[in-house]
Structure 1
């Protein structure tokens, strides 16, 4: 039998080969991600002068605070609506037969093949004062004059929910597929009604999927730029657009990088806090 020293000697060349394979990807990660990220962090504390003055604006600037609150509110509302609609769609997909599941899954995945920019312009056309939505409501006598559905927070929410809904559906559907249907049947056989079996058995089992989908949708919603910029019409300012204005228009690089760094650190802190409570790898099916 080979000795332990022989096994270590055989492992060393293999180990070196693995590093040779990983090294190009690792170098790209450092050069294209970590170095620019470090530059952003340094700029946030060095421009226009060294110190934490830029971060002090989080507590003193009304415009910065308003932008942060708007971003958090819209992201939270988007997450809530996407989870509500996504849960219903995922539940229907789980209950459908194989052919229907494939068709529904195709419809859920279809928006991924269309640019966010195209979808945003499509919503502007649909929700505009002369669009088919307002025209249909007026034709049915539901409203007397067009509703303001774009260039405000309503339009931003509709557009963002449309983009985020597939993420919620796919995460929840993956969670629901792993639930043993016999558990619900057992609850029914013990005298529980459909609603009681759902509320007391099925819903608690989908809690990891709800947390995972909610976390994913909320984090992605925090960094939205194109949809709020187009459907908000400049009236709904979120962090990403505010950062772009500070860097491209007003040339306040320190403020812009500070907000970008704050957003990144907040997301990392939220994920860290979540990992202390739940198994994040299991939560996202890794």
Structure 2
């Protein structure tokens, strides 16, 4: 007992009950979902077997992966540009840009989604303006397809890309870039050979965050996709609320969970995750 006290601080006795409660409330539902995936409607791996036998499930799975990848690339590219501008602009302009960025977090995703419908819909502001100027003869199908889903998702995810990149860029020692220029390197050479590699942890962090969040998107694909772009989250909702196939829904949820854990594990093999998410190296 004395040896145990030397290795474990007595304060843990006060924290342990709350940790156990949080673990139970967090792990309990997850274990229940995994249990349903192998027991409903009958015990076995039948639900997971459907993933390889059902063309519709495979199509939904690959559609989700493709949209998430495109969303990640687009959001990180635009977020990197915004973060780079914020770091190198005047302090007053930076505060304005940061305020606008944070305001976007306070706007409901429903408001943003329906705003895009008003702007880019069949009779939206953009199509009406283009038709009025004689640029197009008939409305462009921006919405109710994969393009509309990507526009809405990238717009929503840009702030999530900017913040990790902004933190990473602000931590860089600008004297390294100044030394590069003093040694004769051009601005583009300094950026590609020094600045961009130093911001790799921020790029990885924002990419990982956006891809994981994109996997669970529900409102934006449902509204802007118009029922024509079905992603895993919406399909899970259909299985739970319409067809009542809880086992299939639990299987898909389990696959999403395993996919996220696998991504984190692979990432940990190449770099320290605490550094990626803002911790000390």
Q: Per the alignment, in what secondary structure is the counterpart of residue 76 of structure 2?
A: helix
Give the deviation of 1:206 after TM superposition: 0.9
Q: Secondary structure at the match of 1:118?
A: helix
Q: 2:163 matched to 1:167?
A: no
Which TM-score applies when normalising by structure 1? Answer: 0.92
Query: Residues 73-152 of structure 1: matches in 2 within 5 Å?
Result: 73-152=66-145
Gaps of 5+ in 2: none
The correspondence for 1:199, drawn from 192, 202, 210, is 192
Partner residue of 1:27 out of 21, 35, 38: 21
Instruction: Name the SS for the 2:144 alignment partner.
Output: coil
Structure 1 vs Structure 2 CA RMSD: 1.8
Instruction: Quote the Cα distance in structure 2 between the aligned partners of 1:251 and 1:237.
Output: 18
Q: 1:20 deviation in Å?
A: 2.4
Provide the TM-score with structure 2 as the length reference.
0.94
Mark the runs of 5 or more structure 1 residues left unpaired by the alignment.
none
Cα distance in 2 between the residues matched to 1:81 and 1:141? 30
Q: Displacement, 1:36? A: 1.2
Alpha-carbon distance between aligned partners in 2 of 1:19 and 1:126, rounded to the nearest angstrom = 57
Number of residue pairs aligned between Structure 1 and Structure 2 = 277
Identify which of 197, 210, 215 aligns with 1:217. 210
Cα separation, 1, equivalents of 2:236 and 2:13: 38
Moved more, 88-97 or 179-188: 179-188
Out of 264, 267, 270, which is 1:271 matched to? 264
Task: Label 1:272 to 1:148 Cα distance change in 2 as closer, same or farther (>3 A).
Answer: same
Q: Secondary structure of the equivalent of 1:34?
A: helix
Cα–Cα, structure 1 residues 180 and 66, in superposed 2: closer, same or farther, change >3 Å?
A: same
SS in 2 for 1:129: coil
| Counterpart pick for 1:208 among 201, 205, 210 | 201
